[in-house]
């Protein structure tokens, strides 16, 4: 396997000896993007928020702070190593019942309908096996009026990194807006940022 393919495989599911390094790299390089996604999600104190594919988990303390003592953060990631890392680093929030973590991807989320007020997912939609089904699942989990924020990198850069070649999705933000609208989300729109490190967000509201 080439270095590029190995890197893309690690980005899509950090595993093995490289996983702790990958987690640190993700947290370092994607921190600005994560903060922007949280700003667009605007979690309220007491809120219930799902983060899908949290990777290194830099977002988790930020979300926990935003929802405060009365809120709950739900985190899902299919990487066993990322779940282990988050369990280690967020012992207190887990013990207090303020954080729930599950080892699952977008297609196997275990929660009932209308479970959360907001969902965010940064740099994961490239890897979802079925975009339409994934969006339908998230819509089901969101209470009416709840917000979905997907944050993506520049599709051209992703293609240069070998994502498309490896079979992953490299759609534009406008194409994700179409997909959200097709899945029944209201007011789907792009929130672009000047700094490329902040990525681009696609936001929609559950009807
Ligand atoms: C590139 S990392 C991004 C991590 C973090 N959100 C960030 O931006 O730093 C992709 C993450 O998505 C997770 N992932 C892969 N396939 C997924 C899927 N089908 N559903 C949800 N998460 C997935 C991976 O395990 C990994 O932690």
- What gap in Å lies between CA 100 and CA 114, rounded to an integer? 16
Decide whether any atom of ligand 1 lies within 6 Å of the 99 Cβ.
no
CA atoms of 197 and 49, how far apart (whole Å) = 23
Q: Name the residue of 41, 53, 132, 136 whose CB sits within 8 Å of the most ligand 1 atoms, as the mutation to test its pocket.
A: 53
Residue 1 confidence (pLDDT) above 80: no
Q: What is the pTM of this model?
A: 0.97
Q: Is the dihedral of CA 86, 26, 15, 49 positive or negative?
A: positive
Q: Give residue-wise pLDDT tens across range 36-46.
A: 999 999 999 99
- CB 128 near ligand 1, within 6 Å: yes
- In this structure, the residue with its CA closest to atom 26 of ligand 1 is 55
Residue 195 CA to ligand 1 center (angstroms) comes to 22
pLDDT in tens, 144-182: 999 999 999 999 999 998 899 998 999 999 999 999 999
CATH of domain 3-205: 3.40.50.150
* Ligand 1 geometric centre to CA of 55 (Å): 6
Q: CB–CB of 53/122 below 8 Å?
A: yes
Check pLDDT > 90 for residue 202: yes
Q: Taking the domains of the chain in order of start, what are their residue ranges?
A: 3-205
DSSP the chain: --HHHHHHHHHHS--GGGHHHHHHHHHHHHHHHHHHHHHHH-PPTT-EEEEE--TT-THHHHHHHHH-TT-EEEEE-S-HHHHHHHHHHTHHHHHTTSEEEE---GGG----TT-EEEEEEES-GGG-S-HHHHHHHHHHHEEEEEEEEEEE--HHHHHHTTTTTTT-----HHHHHHHHHHTT-EEEEEE--SSGGG-EEEEEE--
pLDDT at 151: 98
CB of 10 shorter than 6 A to ligand 1: no
- pLDDT tens across 25-36, in order? 999 999 999 999
């Amino acid at each position: 396997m080439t270095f590029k393919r190995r890197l893309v495989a690690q980005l899509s599911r950090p595993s093995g000896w490289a996983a702790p390094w990958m987690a640190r790299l993700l947290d370092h390089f994607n921190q600005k993007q994560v903060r922007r996604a949280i700003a667009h999600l605007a979690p309220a104190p007491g809120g219930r928020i799902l983060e899908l594919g949290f990777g290194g988990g830099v977002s988790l303390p930020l979300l926990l702070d935003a929802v405060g003592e009365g809120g709950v953060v739900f985190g899902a990631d299919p990487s066993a190593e990322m779940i282990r890392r988050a369990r280690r680093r967020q012992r207190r929030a887990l013990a207090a019942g303020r954080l729930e973590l599950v080892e699952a991807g977008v297609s196997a989320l275990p929660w009932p309908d209308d479970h959360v007020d907001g969902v965010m997912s940064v740099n994961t939609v490239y890897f979802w096996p079925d975009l339409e089904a994934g969006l339908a699942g998230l819509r089901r989990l969101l209470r009416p009026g709840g917000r979905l924020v997907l944050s993506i990198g520049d599709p051209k850069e992703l293609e240069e990194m070998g994502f498309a070649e490896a079979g992953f999705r490299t759609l534009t933000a406008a194409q994700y807006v179409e997909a959200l609208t097709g899945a029944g989300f209201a007011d789907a729109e792009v929130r672009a940022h000047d700094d490329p490190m902040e990525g681009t967000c696609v936001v929609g509201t559950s009807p």
